[in-house]
């Protein structure tokens, strides 16, 4: 994956920005297609003026924007998405981006005869684990509108490979965290929201007893893993879990963050009623990924949380300003 013309949809977002950094470091020319609804120029700090980077402000739901972005493209990393929490409130809007937007990208990839379409899916397509660790053959049981849309995205990608001969690979990252993660509003993610609240000595909210488990992977590890899959021809036309093969409870995450800030978990961890559609267990089997690429994620959950806290402290916001963006109602 060097000296290629690469398109990253959603390249100014959380995972996308890390992927773009790593692709540029490998000597590629990278085009970003992002509408900056959730992506940020701040995520591209240090590379925004890179001569090998082109940024197109546009949407994958707009066929003209897609056609423009796909010009001279050899490899596509398709990451543009609206998230799970938004799907609960606005399922139609999320479906339009995830499903119809993906169709626009697949048609453009077919017409431009791209060398590879890397479809970035999600572990949410599996739903709550029926067995663990969850390998790529685990049944697809989406429990939210977001997850259902992602299943459709995956099936469309597969179908374009079968029908039109489009070379593809689908990656399913498990729960990513790290720098550039979202903490703002109802779309904020668990770890960054807890960090912001801990910085302000506010309660860290868990739902139910916090027994839900996730396979948390540091975002830089996930980005490297995705590139390793894309550059390996043995991975072509297949699905891969991007995970650590380690299981951590939500309660454990809260306790780890409390420890980083010297907060008493018995005081600062606040339990709320369980959420509807909450997946209780996600624990990925990454054996197939490791066997073909040889890559093993390196960052422990403790180290990753420490690095994420350092990133939050480096932002041009006071702790109060961070908390104001997080807002209490975002937990509802």
Q: Closest Cα to residue 249, out of 202, 301, 276, 213?
A: 213
Say which of 146, 177, 218, 268 is annotated catalytic: 146
Alpha carbon distances (Å) from 131 to 50, 215, 281, 283? 46, 14, 9, 9
Distance in Å from the first CA to the final CA of the chain = 42
Dist CA 272 CA 190 (whole Å)? 14
* C-alpha separations of 285 from 90, 186, 240, 282, 290 in Å: 31, 30, 9, 10, 10
**Catalytic annotation on 317?**
no
Structure tokens at 222: 């996930």
User: Which residues are catalytically annotated?
Assistant: 146
């Amino acid at each position: 994956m060097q000296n290629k013309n690469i398109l990253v949809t959603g390249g100014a977002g959380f995972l996308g920005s890390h992927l773009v950094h790593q692709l540029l470091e490998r000597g590629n020319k990278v085009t970003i297609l992002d509408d900056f609804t959730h992506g940020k120029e701040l995520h591209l700090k240090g590379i925004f003026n890179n001569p090998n980077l082109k940024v197109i402000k546009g949407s994958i739901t707009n066929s003209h924007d897609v056609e423009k972005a796909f010009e001279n493209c050899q490899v596509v990393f398709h990451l543009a998405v609206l998230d799970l929490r938004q799907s609960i409130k606005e399922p139609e809007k999320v479906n339009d981006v995830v499903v119809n937007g993906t169709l626009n990208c697949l048609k453009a990839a077919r017409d431009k005869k791209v060398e590879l379409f890397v479809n970035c899916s999600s572990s949410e397509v599996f739903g709550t684990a029926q067995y663990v660790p969850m390998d790529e053959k685990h049944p697809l049981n989406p429990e939210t509108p977001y997850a259902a849309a992602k299943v459709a995205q995956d099936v469309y990608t597969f179908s374009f490979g079968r029908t039109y001969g489009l070379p593809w690979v689908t990656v399913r990252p498990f729960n990513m965290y790290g720098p550039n993660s979202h903490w703002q509003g109802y779309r904020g993610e668990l770890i960054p929201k807890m960090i912001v609240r801990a910085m302000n000595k506010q309660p860290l909210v868990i739902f139910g007893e916090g027994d839900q488990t996730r396979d948390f992977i540091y975002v830089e590890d996930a980005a490297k893993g995705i590139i390793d899959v894309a550059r390996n021809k043995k991975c072509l036309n297949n699905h891969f879990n991007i995970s650590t093969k380690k299981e951590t409870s939500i309660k454990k995450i809260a306790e780890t963050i409390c420890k980083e800030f010297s907060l008493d978990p018995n005081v600062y961890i606040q339990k709320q009623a369980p959420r509807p559609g909450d997946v209780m267990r996600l624990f990925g089997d990454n054996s197939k990924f490791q066997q073909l690429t040889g890559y093993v994620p390196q960052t422990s959950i403790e180290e990753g949380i420490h690095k994420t806290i350092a990133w939050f402290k480096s932002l041009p916001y006071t702790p109060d300003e961070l908390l104001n963006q997080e807002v209490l109602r975002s937990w509802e």
